[in-house]
Structure 1
Amino acid sequence: MLLKTDLGAVAATDGLEDILYGIVSTQNFQIHQFRNILSAVGDTHAQCQAANGSYSPLTGDQQITLEVPAATAAVAGAKCTPSATTLCMTLDVFASETGYYNFATYTGSSPDIAVTIGQTYTFDQSDPTNWYHPVGFAYEPDGAHGSTWGGDELDEVEGKGELLYKINGAATTCDDAGDTGLDCYEPEFFYPRDVWIGATYTAELTITQAVADRSHGGVIYYFCHIHSKMSGKIQIMKDDGYKYTNAKPEKSLYSPVVRGSIDVACGTTGVADYHDEGGMACAERFVPGAIDTPFDDCLQAVDCAMNKEMHVPLKAPLTTFLEQMIPHHANAVNMAKLLLKTDLGAVAATDGLEDILYGIVSTQNFQIHQFRNILSAVGDTHAQCQAANGSYSPLTGDQQITLEVPAATAAVAGAKCTPSATTLCMTLDVFASE
């Protein structure tokens, strides 16, 4: 719709057209895959719909008890053996909206890592959970993402001899390798998950004296080059085992998200208040049938969150689109995490579904990141729609809009193609059907 009604604003926003076509194409392909899976098990969404188009009423209010697992130390992936200088990284996809890095033998998400001047450390990202999360290192939290959404890039650890990215144990050799190889390493994290898993990925960080001197109070930070707000602290130590310090004060680092028992049990983020016992619960039921399993209970909260958070004030089409797409995408992310958390057996038994779900989590979280950057650039944020008590501004206005239907026209060839009797220049009318 935004491409159809406000193409000027789309064209004026760097990168947005690619994002929108990405949403249309990738999510339509996922719809195709979901329908194939439903068909394979003899189930369709049409089962919920009566002949007259009405839907079966939702029933059931059974209270579900959600079990909360205790925190445990992270375990290394099959391809990595941890040591004093080898850090085996995994991603706890449930720990926050984007997930947080975990390190084998360390307890909890985004732990502090201690390193010593003169040593080289291998950050091993070969575990499948690291897909779409290439690690970076910076002198301030969030590095390349800046200190705010859409902010200026902050200084990274990227000097020759300080950082070297490797794929399959070898330094990268693409044309853009530069001193570190980041511009060869990061693009591969956008490969399809089943392709990316076939390689091994490591980042070798050397703590030189120059790195220590540029640090703020002896601290640098690891972060994700694709998703923001995933930073953790790296404490630089001296040979004698004492912390290295300098005259610069340490930078402030935000604390990791602490989820309540409901979000922990559901594998979600930010939906606890929308649970049946929460202050923003919905009276409406969003799924037919009795709510009698933890999955059902969590799904009600997830759907309630999207239902309420998409009620944003009408503004310019671009702004309204972005403010609604953030909770829309967050709903998809939370639904994917919920299924991974509560029914992993069924996921594993369904060919290709795990890749689809991780694709939803990683790609749509990245798009949320991009949407927030765009909103910040125009001085608008999703938080503006939310009052201090968590309620949302009501939508107003019932003006009748007249939509003009353009007359059909002959397709025009693209710039790269000249049609002839034997050359057919193809385009896609993205609006013509689903």
Structure 2
Amino acid sequence: MMKLIKLFLFLSLCLFTCGVVSVEGATENQTLCVSPNNVFHARVNLYAGELGYYVFEECGLDNVNPTIAVELGETYTFVQTHRSNYFHPIGFAYSPYGDEELKIEVEPGTSRGNQSCIQDYTCHAPMYFINDEYVGHYSNNPDIKNITHHEEDFGLDVYEPLFMRNPHEWAQFGNFTIKLRVDDPDITSDMFIFCHIHEWMAGRIKVTKNGIPIIKKDVPTLGFEFDYNTPLLSDFDKECGTFALGQYQTPDNPHCPDHFVCDKDDPMVTPEMAHFGSCIDAMNCAMLTGMTTGIKAQDERALFIHQMIPHHQNAVNMAKALLKTEKIHCADLANDEDPDCILEGILYEIVNTQNLQIQAMFDYLDAKRFPEADNCEVPLDKVSDTLAESAGAATLQMPTYIYLQHVTRNWLTGWKALGVVVATTTVLLMSVAALVPQF
């Protein structure tokens, strides 16, 4: 009996002091992240998938999209000050889906439990702060503000737009925090953290009572798979900081030249630089392959998007790869004069704005019922024998369009040279003629 008491005391202590705890039989995931002081410091791991996923310092930075536990009736603070949060304002919902039609957000007028709060907008909802100042009017938390009725503004409309400023301006605003107090004991659904700008970044929240989840099963189910659980995030991608490049490594890809970055084998080149060059090679191979498209949709808009998406994906991968090297030393992202901070800001803008545009373009294809992709193959050796003989066998390693440019350039250069010879000869003959006595 004494052993059981000691075990119970140990588990109780761990629940309030350990970041990640296992609660047997309490949840399908078996693991909950519990903050000892009810504070979660958010970051975005940009390398865990195409868009990145939230991580929290209290849960371990290697624990991507942890299942968070929030105790009924207690106030939790989510801190978004770390620079990786740029363009990723946190929201809360009862559904994991990124689709606006399917996502039911946690707001003063929504509930997945007691319905009496809906009409007077007293349901629990997040409250948004900038530099410790609440920027809304609604409240379900008397420790922050008197409880309100018929008030919808919980600060999101002030908070979210600031995340879409340029990175330096965003950082200059200071501390971004959210406070959440779940107070409905009749809740029938898990909650989810999601990004208000990028889709498919949902992380589950389990509401607990006395440390035990009120809903033991995962309700609702996720409905999609995270990128880090798929082969698209290869070991090569993990090394480069990229996404979906494993199959495009050179020189073994039959659709790409041996390399795009030269001199990687030079003994003066460091291994780190050679590796980064290999990452760039794979990015460019992916873009070259992706931008080799058909026109089956017979629509200029579809062709534009089919070309632009791989172009954007290449830019995102290139920016993430450079961030991954940690060669940029920016002490304060708010500094818009330091060259490294300027470059880091550019990289964050490329990653986040172009990822948003990629999602918008995929949504457009879906809305117009265009195919998601229309790839075609153009083998590197698909050139005529005549052109091959003109340019030499070595150029067959080039993509076809580069090869044709090369041949055309040589052809034009030849004609230019011939023109110079003819012009020079003409001038010489005219000069000689001027010196010859007239007969």
Same fold at TM > 0.5: yes
The residue type paired with residue 290 of structure 2 is E
2:101 is aligned to: 152
1:328 is aligned to: 311
Distance 1:155 1:280, change over 3 A: farther
What's the CA shift string for 1:215-246, capped at 9, x where partnerless? Answer: 1xxx211110100111111111112x222128
- 1:339 match: secondary structure: helix
Please, which runs of 5 or more residues in structure 2 have no aligned partner?
Answer: 1-18, 21-34, 109-121, 138-150, 332-338, 380-439
Q: Choose the corresponding residue for 1:304, options 266, 285, 309.
A: 285
- Note if contact 2:234-2:244 (Cα within 8 Å) is conserved in structure 1: no
- The separation in 2 between residues aligned to 1:246 and 1:179, in whole angstroms, is 32
- Note if contact 2:312-2:358 (Cα within 8 Å) is conserved in structure 1: yes
- Note if contact 1:98-1:227 (Cα within 8 Å) is conserved in structure 2: yes
The residue type paired with residue 235 of structure 1 is K
RMSD, aligned α-carbons: 2.8
Q: Choose the corresponding residue for 2:374, options 385, 388, 400.
A: 385
CA drift of 1:197 comes to 0.8
1:224 is aligned to: 195
- The separation in 2 between residues aligned to 1:257 and 1:200, in whole angstroms, is 30
Identity of aligned residues (%): 34
What's the CA shift string for 1:188-214, capped at 9, x where partnerless? Answer: 00111111112211111221216x524
- 1:123 match: secondary structure: strand
Q: Choose the corresponding residue for 1:131, options 69, 86, 93.
A: 86
Tell me if 1:96 matches 2:59.
no
Tell me if 1:271 matches 2:242.
no
- The separation in 2 between residues aligned to 1:264 and 1:379, in whole angstroms, is 34
Tell me if 1:190 matches 2:164.
yes
- The separation in 1 between residues aligned to 2:209 and 2:326, in whole angstroms, is 47
Distance 1:209 1:358, change over 3 A: same
2:132 is aligned to: 169
- The separation in 2 between residues aligned to 1:164 and 1:318, in whole angstroms, is 41
- Note if contact 2:188-2:215 (Cα within 8 Å) is conserved in structure 1: no
- The separation in 1 between residues aligned to 2:275 and 2:80, in whole angstroms, is 32
- 1:344 match: secondary structure: coil
The residue type paired with residue 294 of structure 2 is P
The residue type paired with residue 378 of structure 1 is K
- Note if contact 1:221-1:231 (Cα within 8 Å) is conserved in structure 2: yes
2:178 is aligned to: 203
CA drift of 1:285 comes to 2.4
CA drift of 1:360 comes to 0.5
- The separation in 2 between residues aligned to 1:208 and 1:297, in whole angstroms, is 53
The residue type paired with residue 337 of structure 1 is K
Pairing of 1:324-363 with structure 2 (within 5 A): 324-342=307-325, 344-345=327-328, 350=340, 352-363=342-353
- Note if contact 2:55-2:65 (Cα within 8 Å) is conserved in structure 1: yes
Greater fraction of residues in helix: 2
1:105 is aligned to: 58
- The separation in 1 between residues aligned to 2:357 and 2:175, in whole angstroms, is 26
CA drift of 1:261 comes to 1.4
Tell me if 1:180 matches 2:144.
no
Q: Choose the corresponding residue for 2:301, options 318, 322, 329.
A: 318
CA drift of 1:342 comes to 2.2
> Which of 1 and 2 has greater Rg?
2
Distance 1:276 1:243, change over 3 A: same
- 1:365 match: secondary structure: helix
The count of residues paired between Structure 1 and Structure 2 equals: 298
- The separation in 2 between residues aligned to 1:164 and 1:202, in whole angstroms, is 9
- The separation in 1 between residues aligned to 2:351 and 2:38, in whole angstroms, is 31
The residue type paired with residue 201 of structure 1 is F
- The separation in 2 between residues aligned to 1:317 and 1:166, in whole angstroms, is 45
- 2:212 match: secondary structure: coil
What's the CA shift string for 1:382-410, capped at 9, x where partnerless? Answer: 3x435xxxxx4669xxxxxxxxxxxxxxx
Tell me if 1:234 matches 2:205.
yes
- Note if contact 1:140-1:220 (Cα within 8 Å) is conserved in structure 2: yes
CA drift of 1:366 comes to 0.8
Please, which runs of 5 or more residues in structure 1 have no aligned partner?
Answer: 1-72, 75-81, 387-391, 396-434
- 1:101 match: secondary structure: strand
- The separation in 1 between residues aligned to 2:67 and 2:292, in whole angstroms, is 39
- 2:101 match: secondary structure: coil
The residue type paired with residue 385 of structure 1 is D
CA drift of 1:343 comes to 5.1
TM-score (ref. length: structure 1): 0.63
Ranked by relative contact order (alpha carbons within 8 Å, sequence separation 6 or more), the top structure is: 1
